[in-house]
């Protein structure tokens, strides 16, 4: 019989490309205190939509998730919709953007900016 192993799930993941982009933006702004705020608001074609912003300060009830030289900030309301998601950064013909890959979403719009749970 094998022993049980402790497993602590990561609430959010950050891709290497997103981490590198956050690091580059901090360097360009000459501000090591910048953190990527990820949030969910009502709206969009599927009911909820993702938002991104850079923040220096955080509220007492925000969750900070550190990935070495990059930090995510999530407010308590958004957190419940984002648990298990991966934050990615992609560049292509449509431009460059941060994107959420959310396993909790039952439906997403074509551009991936809005979702339904």
Q: Which residues are annotated as a binding site for iron-sulfur cluster?
A: 45, 109, 111
Q: Which residues are annotated as a binding site?
A: 45, 109, 111
Residues 116 and 109: their CA atoms lie apart, in Å, by 9
Question: How is 28-86 classified by DSSP, letter by letter?
Answer: HTT-TT-EEEEEEEE-STTSEEEEEEEES---TT-EEEEETTEEEEE-HHHHHHHTTEE
- Phi and psi at residue 62, to the nearest 5°: -70, 155
Strand partners, 111: none
């Amino acid at each position: 019989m094998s022993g049980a192993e402790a497993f602590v799930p990561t609430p959010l993941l950050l891709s290497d490309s997103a981490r590198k982009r956050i690091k580059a933006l901090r360097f360009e702004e000459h501000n090591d205190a910048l953190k990527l705020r990820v949030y969910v608001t009502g709206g969009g074609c599927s009911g909820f939509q993702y938002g991104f912003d850079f923040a220096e300060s955080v509220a007492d009830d925000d969750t900070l998730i550190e990935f070495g030289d990059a930090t995510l900030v999530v407010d308590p309301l958004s957190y419940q919709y984002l648990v298990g998601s991966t934050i990615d950064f992609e560049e292509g013909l449509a431009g460059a953007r941060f994107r959420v890959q959310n396993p909790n979403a039952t439906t997403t719009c074509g551009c991936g900016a809005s979702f339904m749970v």
